[in-house]
Structure 1
Amino acid sequence: MNHRTRLDWMFLWCCLLRYSYLRLEKICLKAALKAVPGFGWAMQVACFVFIQRRWEADKKHLENMLDYFCDIREPLQLLLFPEGTDLTENTRAKSDAFAEQNNLPKLEYVLHPRTTGFTFIVDRLRKGANLDAVHDVTVAYPKNIPQTERHLILGQFPREIHFHVRRYPVSSLPTSSSDLESWCQERWAEKEVRLRDFYSGQSQGFERDGVARVPPCKSELRVSLIKAASLLYWSIFIALCFTGLWLSTSFRIYVLVMVGVYMGQQKLVGGLELLELSCHQYWKSRGADVGEKKKVLDGKMQ
């Protein structure tokens, strides 16, 4: 997906709520976000993929996380922003400098993708037989663009959000890393043209591509009920939390203990997703050891 604002992932949830299964999504995002109290802890519990944006440090971590997803066979939708950051004047200038250094065209509506992580993820999931397709997602905001969380706090929600989604089955993807890198760059060149056409003729949206609209798999009634239930749940939850903090000493102690647990485990093991991964690797190695011992015993008995 292209990364127009820092909030794209949040708006994509609205799309997934209608067209897919939101609970299956995991996001590949920068590691600093896991330290955000509450929000970052929830992402650790959800086993999101946190990266340092330094390939030397990220390669092994990505390998371990992707192998874990392949081992457990849990249905997975992994959201990746190959641009690495959202589109601003500053990041566009850096993208232009990258383009000059690599003899690439300058882009206005997207940033040049960094393809190393993308190609590695596709190859690893494909080797683990856990890749069904790559969905190329382009997002655009025709009315107003909320660039940061500050805009949402001020009530500047986007009046419209448009998504263009094209599915590429794994059988249609190139097999070599170099060809896959070129394939990703071609998709970004298409995004540049698609977004240029979109913003020059905003009323027609992405329909100019000639791509058919796909009806949502969930009815608007079901989506409305889900949103109403979520709003009711979180309103009651937040109200009860504040009430507990105000009235109950036991609840205040419980909150302090849980804050200490989350902060402590992050200092000790680096995050709950890493603790989960370590447990899986331990039991996997134990299972392998038991299997080897069984083979040795079977051989001796024979």
Structure 2
Amino acid sequence: MIIAEIRSDIQTIESDAKLFEEINFDSRANAIDFIEFHIIDRIDSLIQQSAIIKELRLLKQQAENLKTQLEQIDNNLFAGLREQIRAGACNGTAFRTVIDTYTKPDNKSYEQPGYDNLDVFINGLLTAATIPRPVNELEPEMVFYQKTPARVVFELIEIAQLKPGDVFFDIGSGLGQVPLLVNLISGIIAKGVEFETACHEYAVNCAAKLNLPNVEFINADARVVDYSAGNVFFMYTPFQGQMLQEVISLLNKKSRRRIIRIYTYGPCSPHVAMQNWLKCTNGQGNDIYKLYEFVSV
């Protein structure tokens, strides 16, 4: 019974011709996820306690081959799009059109960071190389790296209405996804500040491979960076406590010369909301799973 059920699941995916058409990325991502977590993982758990090991191993090989086929379609898709980005033919409106073509909006309400097929697409397109191991020891108030959900980055770009002359800083930029997306969509100069050397080198390499000269990554402690060129800033809680306050104070000094905007996501938002020199334009700043905009006053 179990063998027949698993075989039927595999055959259903194999017989769906649309999954093998490049345009159907979203459905293919769901199918790959199903193969990995509902077929292969299920087989692995059954193998440990089953007398029909041979049949299960054959099914696992069949599922893995199918998953590889589907992933190769995505790899070819991403390779072609990266070539267009390098040639300057896939940015701004053209890049947004690509996103809308291959992914469907996720209207779920998240009570945690939450990732979806948009993240799968962006990860495969922009940061496809193997994630590096950290080499720097974090200070006590530094927070471990977690990617900003892609939907939050797109929301930020939509709210901020970035324009020529704006300079964007992602404070705690990790693998560089946020500055890459900001530059690709808006065309403005985008900078990332990252303490972890391995992540910084990874991000620099990504920008170079995509031929994005207006994306810069700075490998430094955020407390000693010169932010004078920036007027738009983003933080997905890269640190907390006194360290967070020190960086906010640096931005406060910057705000005395020109109006700045700070966008936050995660547990840092309530702390930023307490600053009397900032006004939150879209709420109270107390929901850690909401993107907030703060403007200097």
Q: TM-score range by the shorter chain?
A: under 0.3
Q: TM-score, normalised by structure 2?
A: 0.26
Q: Which has the higher helix share?
A: 1
Ranked by relative contact order (alpha carbons within 8 Å, sequence separation 6 or more), the top structure is 1
Q: TM-score, normalised by structure 1?
A: 0.26
